Structure 1
Amino acid sequence: MSKSYYIGLMSGTSMDGVDAVLVEFEQQQPRLIASHSEPMPRSLLKGLTRLCLPGNDEINLQGNLDRAVGQLFAQAVNNLLANNAIPAEQITAIGSHGQTIRHMPNLDMGFTLQIGDPNTIAALTGINVIADFRRKDIALGGQGAPLVPAFHQQLFAQPGSARIIVNIGGISNITFLPGGADEVVGFDTGPGNTLIDAWINHVHNKPYDEHGAWAATGTTNEQLLNHLLSHSYFALAAPKSTGRELFNQAWLEQQVANFGYLSEADIQSTLLDLTCHSIANDCKKLSDNAELFICGGGAFNDELMLRLANLLPNHKILTTKDIGIAPQWVEGIAFAWLAMRHHHGLSGNLPAVTGASREAILGGLFPAQ
């Protein structure tokens, strides 16, 4: 088996599980060989949710969860390999994103923090791990996010064709590929699934609104929607990035406090429209008629896809499956790609996107031996 095999590990803002992908690279172009999703144990999710809330930091909890997430990531790798009868010796490296517990790039001393101890992953899998991809970009004055636009450019750019790649995970980010010599544009648009997941979990104790079915039963309240859209983040110029530090359950409860007369389904519908409007508003600023390709969990929310199409009638809306990669695996493959770039001494960031002072090799190597 070729030594151009890498594994990408991704656990996003939604924290619903770990995606593991086995990828082969030829001429830097990826080919997905196998994939596996490892569910997030409920006890671990509770601990992570607690750790993500500003004001509740606790060093012992962080240290414990760092190891626990590392073990979960290693389990995802070992199950991926076992399910496909592939020996660990055939893998060049694992690219691990880690689990973000704090992303604060705009402080005087900006920082981002991902846990999921790469030493633990390396020890339990016997494979070299490349991790901590975001902090070099932060050190160079960048946002450390989003990092996927560099991968989107490599994989999805088409000369003469304007494309927007929209990744809708817990947070949504977009990559504008102009189709010419222009620089790529990319940034976080705001909440993706994080608020709609938080609300249905709060009301119905469900992890997510399958296909957007519950949101579809509600009626969006324009006053609440406009109130949510008036948040200063949406008016910020790129480069910009965000996360659970801003858009979280506590913030949501504050925003809906004066709208107690609304039904719970109406709030869900309004939150879904917040995601759709914030994405659509930015897409319209970038291009009048670009093709949109959706990836991430949002691609499977039928109501979200329908509403986005209604807001962008001049844009053709598809998923990344139509250009070669199933939507649920794009980010995992991106971190396998970043590991490959690190292994070959190649840069992984786009300064025009993140605001870093220069291109850089991202991540650190954690050897298995």
Structure 2
Amino acid sequence: MDFRLVTEKDDKAVRRLWSYSFNGDEPFFSWYFSQFYDRGNGLGGYENGELLTCLHLHPYQLSLRGSSLAASYIVGVATDPAARRGGMIRRLLTASLEEMRRRDHWVSILMPSKAGFYAPYQWLLCYHHLVYMVKLEDLRPLAKPAGNILYIESVTLDFFAQSYARFVAGKHGYVERTQQDWLHRLNEHINDRGFVYCLEMDGQPAGYIMYSFKGKTMLIKDMVYADARAQAALFSFIYGHRSQAEFIDWNAPLDDLSYLSLFDPKQDIRMYPFMTARLVDVAQALEAIRYPAELEDSLTIRVQDDMAPWNHHCFRLTVSGGQGRVEVADQAPAQLECQVGPLTQLFFGRLSASQLWRQGALTGQPEAVAKLGAIFPPCVTYINEYF
């Protein structure tokens, strides 16, 4: 099988595979392929010239441990039904790792329909949300009006960028949204019959909310706020929709504490697995990020990766002055050992070294595990991109 980037003559086949695999729901299907799709990011698998499988590698910048890393967001993994169950997805994902490495994208993210499907390929969960399915009436203790609510047409894209920057401060793994990202995000939402309002406080951008209605539920697709006061003001805005909706459906950051103050906290608030990630190139990724400035340390860690041979090595990581240096050290005794998936969870900050060690995903002596934990402290991961 031949794997390569798709071309213009493949457009019909790409759309057919997407429509068959993902139902081709409108208006998103037409918007995606007319406004967002870039065939230069489409990777296909061909047999006798026929496209049998494909995926899309959308480029983003992720903020990871103090650095901005180019990343590929894998979406639209689709295979012709006549070609399934032949190991084709594994070959396609292997080809995607090679293509991402060629692009100098050292990390990738992927939103799975079923996380277990991608786990054998080492795309493991690195992001979770808290999902609130609660009654609007029970937001009453959280709702405190403040500031000015503005309709989208009265603000600029910079208003969204400033609000978002204040919201993600202190968070980790988020997308550094460009102006084009904002245009895509807002246009797709409005095209899908969504609403957008913004919050201004003390003359400054303080937040926004993107939402729609489905029956008696207010679906909150994206809500950001500069601080607790701004969040309370947006809750007040939501609370004002009690005549239109009975419930809210909201994906909140994992560190959100709103559930502690609900009028009736005994409702459906759950941890939701949102996004997987995978290191594409271990050595390059480890050298690209910042480390705790006070650390001076060195560790050897053996990484297992049967899809990317450039990762299947024992690496020596030396940390000094906030920088990391990585060398292949296959002849050295490994102090730690793990597969590339758990190392990704550590790198992204979703799980600590001790958590991985306790669940058996990382092996090594406790002293080495403690050292690794100091090098990679846990972080509050957050992302809210859907394609």
Same-fold call, TM cutoff 0.5 = no
With the length of structure 2 as denominator, give the TM-score of the two structures.
0.23
- Which structure would you say has the larger RCO, counting Cα contacts within 8 Å and 6 or more residues apart? 1
**Greater fraction of residues in strand:** 2
The structure carrying a bigger helix percent of its residues is 1
Larger Rg: 2
